[in-house]
Every structure is written in C-alpha cells, then in structure tokens.
A and B are shown apart, each in its own frame.
Chain A
Amino acid sequence: MTAPNAFSKYPDAKGLFGEYGGRYVAETLMPNILALEAAYEAYKADPAFVKDFDDFSRDFVGRPSPLYFAERLTEAFGGADIWFKRDELNHTGAHKINNCLGQVLLARLMGKTRIIAETGAGQHGVATATVAARFGIPCEVFMGATDVERQKPNVFRMKLLGAKVHAVTSGRGTLKDAMNEALRDWVTNPDDTFYVIGTVAGPHPYPAMVRDFQSVIGREARAQMLDRIGRLPDAAVACIGGGSNAMGLFHPFLEDESVRLIGVEAAGKGVDTPDHAASLNGGRPGILHGNRTYLLQDEDGQILEGHSISAGLDYPGIGPEHAFLHDVGRAEYRHATDAEALEMFQLCSSLEGIIPALEPAHALARVRDLATELGKGKTILMNMCGRGDKDVFSVASALGVEL
C-alpha cells in the first residue's frame, strides 16, 4: 500500500479541481449557483437528508446493487478476474437515478417548485422525470430535436411520467444544445426552478454534488469487494461521457493508490478521425457550460460535436475532476471505438446473459486488454452502469438487422 494522498479533498472553495472546474456562468445565474452551493453544503450532512437519500435509494432505486463475478468473460479474456458492479439493475436501468434522487430531494428542501433537466439519449431525462413524478414536482426536459427523433421510446417514457419534453432545435439539436437551452430556461426562471444536471459537469457545485450522489456506487463496490474477496480490486474501470458513473466509482477509491482507476472515452470512428467524443484523448482545456475542462474544440475555440454510437457518451466535454485526475495521473483515460463497443455488446450478452448498454460496452473493451495486461490472480472491477434494452434498435441497425 502506498501513502494516502489528498486527491479526494477537491474541489476547493472556488469549486476548482486544480485548474479545472469553477463557475463560468452568466451573472443572472451566479446568485442561483451560490444559493445552490449553500443549500447543498447545509443539507449534505443533514441526517434527515441522508436518511431520505438512503431510504429512497433502497426502496425506490433498489440499492445496494449487486457485485457480480463475470466468470465466463473472465474465462474468455483469459486473464484477471472480472467483476461487475451491477448499476444497470437500478430502477430506470442505469446509474443516472442516483444523482436525480439526490438533486430532487435537495430541490424539495430548497422549496423549488419546478424541475428542469437536459438529456441526450433520454436516460437522464427519464430518471429525472421518474423522481420528479414520485415527489409530484412538475418536470420539463430539454432534448435535442435530433435526439427526440432518434430516441422515441424514451420521449414517450418521459411523457408517461408526466414530464414535458422540449425538442431543442437550436445549434445542431444534440446534448450540448439541450444543455444550452436548459441553462437559458434557468436564466429566465431563476427563482422557482431547480436545474438537475445529469453529469459531473457544469458550474460548481454540480461536479462535486453529482459526484457525491453517484459515489454510492464506489462506496458500495469497495465494501462489497472487501467482503467478497477480502481485498480491493487492482483496477476500477468505467466508461466516460461527462463522467458521472466513472466519478461515482472512482471517488471512494482515490486514496487507495493500489487501485488503478481507468476511464474509457468514446473513440467513435477513431480518435485520429473527426468523429469521436474523447475530450481527454482528443481535446484541450477550454470553458463551456459553466466549467473549465477538456473540450472538443477547433483552433478558434468553437465547440465541436462529439460523435459516438452511444448517445450517452457523445458530449464534447468531460467533468472537471476527470480533467484534474488525468493531469495529475491518478486516473488513466483510454478509449474504445464504436466497433469495439458493438463487439462487446454482443459478447457480454451471449457470455454473461447481461445485455449491457453501449456505454459500459466501451469500458468492457478496455477491460479485455487490461485482463491480459494484469494477468491471472488480479482483479478488475467494472461499473456496469446501464442496461442495453434502450440500445437494441440502434445495435440492430448498426449490425444491419431489420427488426
């Protein structure tokens, strides 16, 4: 074991993770951001708030999620033991709901009467609409018009859950435009509205707050690993779009320096092509959506669209804490292509009886290499952050199968 580090102490009082993060928002929003920070600081350690979060996590979300030994994939890859943290078994089918639950509980305590959220593929929108429905708070979801067209089942789910879905036509009608539009709504309705951001990005305190709510993943997994194998894993692996499931997995392990932390970005058609969403591997630091972080951008500082077969990963930025962990070297960031994700999607389905979402299928592609790299007797923990039911149509179409 190496000496404990201080990586988990971030962000600082200004919301900075090293030189990343911060509060880059229009003045109209600054008072809101500061009020949110004060409320979050006040409630996060409040026993009543923590109890509500824990109770609803257990009874509504279905936590703790199991830790599962992926025996046949371990055998197929022929190296280290592979374990899955089964966050795809959560209510609504992904890790997203952990964060929505925390933020909506906070919104209630702050007396907010209206919830807004952005969504890409619709997973965060569905999770937000689900929790908002449970607590009877009106919910409006901003979704790029292109995504509304591509993700009709999720649009219908949100409507069933009582949410209003706005098809965003500004820009190119994708996730970043949905986030712009949600920010515009919040600028327009700063008093009554709570903006539930879906990932560990945005202005402070969102990156820290979302991470804290998602850290339930890593806390459970760490205890479960100790319980099951009597020691910590040698590596923890998760896919990264904005990076919320990865940050939730990594954070409780930050000071366990024997545990390698590996994030897997979406390489789309390849990081050496224009069509990828790998902000760390193919971008550079800039300012967008309230924080300074690595971004896909051109020479002039204009933001580029990310591309990935997985709509949950094609965001042109990444959470600022990942940018920090990347620069200081505490976490490693690799990438996987669309083709690799498709291959893993099928392999995991047929070998483990688990249809993974395309997002964690990216992580699995690097778990395969890592299994050999580490070798037998070592242990890899991977967060299975979502299930693949939502992806069967796009996978079928990518494989040329007509449904």
Chain B
Amino acid sequence: MTRISDTFARLKDQGQAGFVAYVMAGDPDADTTLEMMHGLAEAGADVIELGAPFTDPMADGPPIQRAALRALKSGMTLKGVLGLVARFRETNADTPVVIMGYANPFHAMGWEAFVDAAAKAGADGVICVDLPPEEDAGLREPMERAGLSLIRLATPTTDDGRLPEVVRNTSGFVYYVSTTGVTGAAAGETAVVGAAVDRVREASGLPVAVGFGVKTQERAREIGRVADAVVVGSAIVDELAQQGVAAALELASGLAKAAHDAR
C-alpha cells in the first residue's frame, strides 16, 4: 500500500469524495509554500499537488503561468521543490504529495536521478503534463522500481481507442481533465463529466480525480458527487497571490468540506 492508495481506500470507506489541492512551489517563496502545504493538509486536503515551476507551462492558464514566473523569480528550482517535500515530511507522514510539472526540468536533472531524489524526499507520485504514455518510459520505469505513482491525465479528447493505452502502467489515481483547455478554464457539464469518470474508472481500475475549472464550493460539490476526488488549483493559487495564506486556506477549507460532503 502507498500513501495514495491508503488515502483513497479511507475515502471509499467513509463514502467521501476526496479533495486534491494544488500549490506552486516557491510562490511567492519556499517558506510560504511549506506553510501552505501544512495548512492545506489541516484544511482537509487529502492529496497535495506540488507544482514544479517551468518557464513554458504550455497546458496552464494565466493563474498558474503567473505563479510559475513568481516561483522562478524567487529562485525556486526542482531541487528546491524536492527540498520542500522533505521539509513537509518532517512533520507530516500521511498526506500524499504529488509533484506536478513539465518534462524538461525532470529531464535536465536526469529521469533516474529525479526519481531517486523524489523518493528520498518522500514524494508519492508525479504528474508530468507533456509526457504522454508514448514518451514516458524513461520516467515511468524508475518510478515503478521506486514504488512511486506515475499519474496520467485523461481528457475529453481521449477516446475509447486510446484510453486503455493512457491508463496502462499508471497507478495511484487518474487525473481527468474535465474540459479541453488550459488549467483555470471553464468547467465541463457535470453529467458529461460523470459519464467520463465512469469510463476512466472502469478502464483503469483506479480512483479518478477531476480537475480543470473547479473554482467554487458549489462546483466542488457537483464534481464530488461523480468523481473520487476534486482537484482545485488555479483558484487557490490566485487567492494566495491576491489575499494571502489565510484567505487561500479558508477557501481550501470550504472546498474540502464541499467535496467531502458532496454525497
């Protein structure tokens, strides 16, 4: 068992949808991110997605783009991201941490070296946005050996022909992108999302977390009725940038409750 599968097993026992919260490492600085990670865990986040900043985040909308630039400006590096995971683990042994980023910084460190360092730091999984199954062997194989989950993205454009390939060799959970578009875009129709979640769950045998476009408690509740977990990123990142840590955590707490109480 891993922290991720334990978490989803617990949620299933409790009949709850989970809450996955995203925070960009180093936005606006490392200490704030650490405070956010602990705060998010306390606010009810079941999984923390820790963004690794990249200069060219091609699948992200303006909120995450800006967060990445702020993080890079503060001097955040991939080593720094892993350092944050290690610091978080000093006092939190339970909340899964998934590193979300783009291929080039991982590739620059070296796939194996990155996986070793991520495992050592106490990370549980990796989402690499621009590494489709066709290209991910270099990262996937060391991750399998290290017992880390490579979490893949499934999207509305992933048809039945392609879905088995997308969910093959994946573990932990599947991240379903509820809409074609970048992060922070408008959300898809709940019924459509629900059908897609069922399809992805059946194909993968894994829990399905749904993200892209979830900003409000109402929306988190709707998605929580059909998905195994609700992912919120841009809304938290924007709130942190505009109103600070306390406000962002308050927002996260409300979203966590909405997801947990959805059913």
Give me the interface of A with B, judged by CB distance under 8 Å: 14, 22-32, 34, 170-171, 176-177, 180, 183-184, 187-190, 286-290, 292, 295, 297, 299-303
Contact = CB atoms under 8 A, between A and B. Distances in A.
A187 B109 CA distance: 28
Interface stretch (B30-38, B42-50, B99-107): B99-107
Interface of B: 54-62, 65, 69, 72, 77-79, 102-109, 129-132, 134-135, 152-159, 162, 166, 177, 180-182, 185
Given A24-B132, A28-B153, 6 more contacts: A23-B134, A28-B181, A187-B58, A301-B105, A303-B55, A303-B104
B107 A27 contact: no
B38 to A, nearest CB: 25
Contact of B78 (A183, A301, A303): A301
Most chain-B CB neighbours within 10 Å: which of A29, A190, A286, A300?
Answer: A300
A300 B77 contact: yes
Contacts of A287: 102-104, 107, 130
B104 A288 contact: yes
A276 B152 CA distance: 36
A34 B165 CA distance: 14
- 4 smallest CB-CB distances across A and B, nearest first, come from A301-B108, A301-B105, A188-B181, A26-B59
7 contacts: A26-B129, A27-B155, A31-B157, A34-B162, A184-B60, A301-B106, A302-B104
Nearest to A184: B182
A188 B177 CA distance: 12
Given A25-B130, A170-B62, A303 B56 contact: yes
A286 B135 contact: no
Contact of A187 (B59, B62, B166): B59
B56 A288 contact: yes
B184 to A, nearest CB: 11
A171 B65 contact: yes
A22 B157 contact: no
A23 B104 CA distance: 13
Nearest to B62: A170
A301 B152 contact: no
Contacts of A176: 56
Given A188-B185, A301-B107, A28 B177 contact: yes
A28 B158 CA distance: 7
Contact of B105 (A34, A190, A300): A300
Given A24-B103, A32-B157, A183 B58 contact: yes
Contacts of A24: 103, 130-132, 135
A179 to B, nearest CB: 8
A187 B180 contact: yes
Most chain-B CB neighbours within 10 Å: which of A26, A30, A183, A303?
Answer: A26
A210 B181 CA distance: 26
A302 B130 CA distance: 15
A30 B132 contact: yes
Contacts of B152: 27
Nearest to B108: A301
A29 B181 CA distance: 10
Contacts of A184: 58-61, 181-182
Contacts of B105: 300-302
A287 B181 CA distance: 21
B56 A28 contact: no
